[in-house]
Amino acid sequence: MKHAEDLDVAGRTVMVRADLNVPLDAGAITDDGRIRASVPTIRDLLTRGAAVIVCAHLGRPEGDGYAARAAGGPSLRPVADRLAELLGQPVTLATDVAGESARVIAATMAAGEVAVLENVRFEPAETSKDDEVRGELAGRLAALADVYVGDGFGAMHRKHASVYDTPLLLPHAAGQLVLAEVAVLRQLTTSPARPYVVVLGGAKVSDKLAVIGNLVGSAGPHPTTPRSASSGPAAPPKADRLLIAGGMAYTFLAAQGHQTGDSILQAEQIPHVTTALADAGRAGVEVVLPVDHVVADRFASGAEPEVTRGPDIPDGKMGLDIGPATRELFAAKLADAKTVFWNGPPGVFEFPAFAAGTLAVAEAISHVTGLTVVGGGDSAAAVRHLELPADAFTHISTGGGASLEYLEGRDLPGLAALGDEA
Ligand code: ADP
Ligand code: MG
C-alpha cells in the first residue's frame, strides 16, 4: 500500500475519505474520537501544500432519492464544525456531495484550505450493489480532486463508491490512520504473543459469529472470502481463551441449558453457538462465560440492579451486566495475557448502574503488558469515557465491523482498492 506521506501533494487538491461517523445525541457529538483520529493525515497534507476535500458518511440517511435523504439528514455540519476546531482553521461545508456546490468549492480552493462534502450517503449510489451506479458517483467525486487518500478505516469493509470505486480513478494512497490500524491488526493475525485472550461482548451474537468461528478454529458459520495468498494468512490464528459477555453471552448460556429470563436472546443462533463451543473444545480454546449477572426487571437507566447467585436468570429479569464474580474471573483470565483483543462492551455501560463490568474489563486489560487492542465503535467510545490513562491500551481501533472482518481473514474492499499487499 502506498503511503500518503510519500505522495507529492504541493499545489494539488487531495480527496481524503475519512471515517467521521460519530455518535450524535440530538445533533450533538457525544464522542469525537473518529474526528480526532482523522486529523493527523489532513494536517500533514495541508502542511505539505495541498488543498483537502474531506468525504465521509454519517448515520443512516433514509429515503429513496437524494432530495429526501438530504432533507432528512443527518448533515455533516456538526462534524465539519468540530473538525474546524480541532484543526484550528476554517472548514467549508459543501451543501451537496458531488454537485454544484462541491464543484464550485473544489475549483476555487487554495493550498492549505479544507472543505467537507455533505454526507456521502445522501447519494443513494454510494451504497449501490450496481457497479455502474456506483461508478457514476465515483466519477463525480474523482472529478473534484487530483489525488485520493483513503483514511477511513471504519468504512474499509464496505464496497461503496467513495471507498472502493473512487480510489481506482485517481492516484491513491493510504493515510496514517489506515496504516496504523492495519499494522496493529496484522500483529493480531500473524503469530500473536501467547496467551492470546479475546473478550467479546455487545448486543448480538449474530454480529460476531464469523469472528468467533475463526477464533475457535472452525471454518465459521458464514462463508468468508479468504484474504488472497499474497496478503497474509487465510485462516487467522486461534485464541487461547475467549471471554464472552454482553448480550451475546445469554445465547451461549441458553445453549448450555441455563435460564436466561427476559435477557436478549437469539434463540435461532443456538445451533451455531453450540457448534462453536464444540469446535472450541476440539481446538483447545478455553471459552469463559459469565458465572453471575447484574439483572433488572426492565431495560432502563433507572432500573434497580440486582446480582444473581449463579449463571441462571429468573423469569421477569434481564441480564444487563456481568456480576462481581464474573468480573473477578475475567480479570484472572486476562492476568497472564500477552495479547488481548476486546470488542463489544460486556454490559449496558450507557446506564451507570450497569457499567461496572465494562469498567472492570477495561481495567484488567489496562494492566496487561503486551499488545492490547480495543475494537468496536461502542467499546472505543466506552473506554474513552472511563478516563483511564492514555497508554492503558496499545491501540483503540476506530473500526468495529472493519476490524472484525480483518480478523476473520476477509479482504476489505477499501484496502484492496488502495493496493493492500498485507
Ligand atoms: P461495538 O460497537 O463495540 O462493536 P456492539 O455494537 O456490538 O459493540 O454492542 C454495543 C451495545 O451492546 C451497547 O450499546 C451495549 O449497551 C449493548 N449491550 C451490552 N451488554 C448488553 C446486555 N446485557 N443486554 C443488552 N445490550 C447489551
Ligand atoms: Mg456498535
Q: Summarize pLDDT for 147-186 with one digit per residue, the tens.
A: 999 999 999 999 999 999 999 999 999 999 999 999 999 9
Average pLDDT on 258-266 reads 96
As a three-state string, the secondary structure of 14-65 is EEEECCCCCCEECCEECCCHHHHHHHHHHHHHHHCCCEEEEECCCCCCCCCC
Q: Tell me which DSSP letter residue 410 carries.
A: B
Can you read off the three cell numbers belonging to residue 183? Answer: 499494522
260 vs 376: which has the higher pLDDT: 260
At residue 388, the pLDDT reads 81
Q: Do residues 407 and 161 make contact, with C-beta atoms less than 8 angstroms apart?
A: no
Angle between helices 33-47 and 77-87 (to 10 degrees): 60
**Which residue among 262, 348, 404, 407 has the greatest number of ligand 1 atoms within 8 angstroms of its CB, and so is best to mutate?**
348
Average pLDDT on 72-78 reads 97
Smallest CA-to-CA distance from 115 within 137, 98, 127 is with: 98
At residue 68, the pLDDT reads 97
pLDDT tens-digit series, residues 202-236:
988 988 998 999 899 876 444 444 555 444 445 67
Backbone angles phi, psi at 229, to 5 degrees: -55, -35
Q: Name the residue with the closest Cα to ligand 1, atom 1.
A: 376
- The atom number, within ligand 1, closest to the CA of 207 reads 7
Q: Percentage of residues in the chain with pLDDT exceeding 90?
A: 82
Q: How far apart (Å, rounded) are the C-alpha atoms in residues 258 and 367? A: 32
Q: Do residues 186 and 155 make contact, with C-beta atoms less than 8 angstroms apart?
A: no
At residue 235, the pLDDT reads 66
User: Which numbered ligand comes closest to the C-alpha of 380?
Assistant: 1
- What is the set of active-site residues? 34, 204, 377, 401
Tell me if 376 CB under 6 Å of ligand 1: yes
pLDDT tens-digit series, residues 36-62:
999 999 999 999 999 999 999 999 999
Give residue 418's pLDDT band: very low, low, confident or very high (50, 70, 90): very high
Instruction: Provide CB contacts within 8 A for 182, sequence distance 6+.
Output: 1, 153, 174, 406, 415, 420, 422
At residue 390, the pLDDT reads 74
Smallest CA-to-CA distance from 126 within 118, 114, 134 is with: 134
At residue 233, the pLDDT reads 43
**Which residue among 250, 307, 318, 378 has the greatest number of ligand 1 atoms within 8 angstroms of its CB, and so is best to mutate?**
378
Model confidence, pTM: 0.88
pLDDT tens-digit series, residues 311-328:
999 999 999 999 999 999
User: Which numbered ligand comes closest to the C-alpha of 350?
Assistant: 1
pLDDT tens-digit series, residues 351-408:
999 999 999 999 999 999 999 999 888 888 888 878 887 789 999 998 888 999 999 8
How many angstroms separate the alpha carbon of residue 376 from the centre of ligand 2? 6
Q: How far apart (Å, rounded) are the C-alpha atoms in residues 381 and 386? A: 9
Instruction: Provide CB contacts within 8 A for 19, sequence distance 6+.
Output: 34, 37, 38, 56, 151, 152, 153, 154, 155, 398, 399
- CA distances, 243 to each of 50, 311, 341, 403, 412 (Å): 46, 15, 10, 18, 26
Tell me if 323 CB under 6 Å of ligand 1: no
Q: Which residues surround ligand 2, an ion (CB under 5 A)?
A: 377-378
DSSP run (H or E) holding 241: strand 241-244
Tell me if 378 CB under 6 Å of ligand 1: yes
Average pLDDT on 16-23 reads 96
Instruction: List % helix, strand, coil for the chain (3-state, nearest 5).
Output: 40, 15, 45
- CA distances, 109 to each of 13, 17, 81, 246, 305 (Å): 8, 18, 18, 48, 56
Tell me if 203 CB under 6 Å of ligand 1: yes
Tell me if 167 CB under 6 Å of ligand 1: no
Tell me if 151 CB under 6 Å of ligand 1: no
Tell me if 201 CB under 6 Å of ligand 1: yes
Q: How far apart (Å, rounded) are the C-alpha atoms in residues 145 and 169? A: 10
How many angstroms separate the alpha carbon of residue 246 from the centre of ligand 1? 6
Average pLDDT on 249-274 reads 96
Strand ranges inside 257-338, DSSP E:
286-288, 293-296, 306-307, 318-322
340 vs 229: which has the higher pLDDT: 340
Can you read off the three cell numbers belonging to residue 203? Answer: 448486543
At residue 146, the pLDDT reads 98
DSSP run (H or E) holding 339: strand 339-343
Backbone angles phi, psi at 187, to 5 degrees: -65, -40
| Mean pLDDT taken over the chain | 93
- CA distances, 384 to each of 200, 259, 354, 395, 398 (Å): 18, 34, 17, 12, 12
At residue 234, the pLDDT reads 54
At residue 376, the pLDDT reads 84
How many angstroms separate the alpha carbon of residue 111 from the centre of ligand 1? 43
How many angstroms separate the alpha carbon of residue 383 from the centre of ligand 1? 13
